[in-house]
A and B are shown apart, each in its own frame.
Chain A
């Protein structure tokens, strides 16, 4: 074993493993923000969005992200908000 090799092994031994807790925090912040956004919304919303997209796609070429369906509850009533972004030039 060369001296350089030995030194590198000693250095490896002394090196601390990479810190990971900041990955945990970042991943949690992203996934939790996403899940809070869909919380308390009925399960049919995703299916409704897909059906609407299919209907619109029969007439206009739109992209998957172009239809947004949102349900908002205010005191006493609910608002179903439908937002369709049509491509330019139509």
Chain B
């Protein structure tokens, strides 16, 4: 049974595409045949993050308009055998995506794929609505910052009412919180919402915490999803999150400030004097 996962957030720039790319790579590395679709029509970017921008010939909209078949448009990933990318189109036609078109493409993918990862655009327009409509699971990507948390809450509202599962009164999709760009140091200083603050407000199960990391920009520079950088904190955090998504019990990491006993002692002293 194919599982459709939407990566969503409402707010832009919080890490949806980074997460889509890493999640797709993570699932495919575990041997699941995985497709990742860019729903951001007009602002294609998943191809860059996956490093396949020069191999795009046909796109999602070409397939929907029958200008190409699905196999022509799917790009095989350069690293992982079982991973395919369906790029967004660069058309400025906002109505290029249709419910029927998306439904047909997902039905066809469901014949052979184990997972389909839908990279949602920011906002709550058609692209975002269609990306979530057929989903079985949603990963809500949130930064520990007021506007991102508020937008995530709005998306949770839409996920519970504007999806096929909700409309048909079936079992609701599973929701997962992925907190990204987290800085335990700033949390300790009282400058950033903590994991427990965000968890308390959004009240959905936590899939993982991705620390603010230099590795993310390095990964996007080179077009290799950060999960492939196994030495990096962000890469490891994504590997853990994929494992948890597959039902493994993995303790959360990167949520405490690192530092040696001396630093902690100094911090303690500082706190006392303030």
Contacts and interface: CB of A to CB of B under 8 A. Distances in A.
B197 A25 contact: yes
A19 B161 contact: no
Interface residues of A, number: 19
A22 B190 contact: yes
B157 A20 contact: no
Contacts of B187: 21
A24 B161 CA distance: 27
A65 interface: no
B194 A21 contact: yes
Given A20-B190, A40-B157, A40-B161, A32 B150 contact: yes
A27 B146 contact: yes
Contacts of A55: none
Given A27-B146, A32-B201, A19 B153 contact: no
A15 interface: yes
Nearest to A32: B153
B124 interface: no
Interface of B: 145-146, 149-150, 153-154, 157, 161, 187, 189-194, 197, 201, 270, 273-274
Interface of A: 14-17, 19-22, 24-25, 27-29, 31-32, 35-36, 39-40
Given A22-B190, A24-B146, 9 more contacts: A19-B189, A20-B191, A21-B187, A28-B193, A32-B150, A32-B153, A35-B150, A36-B157, A40-B157
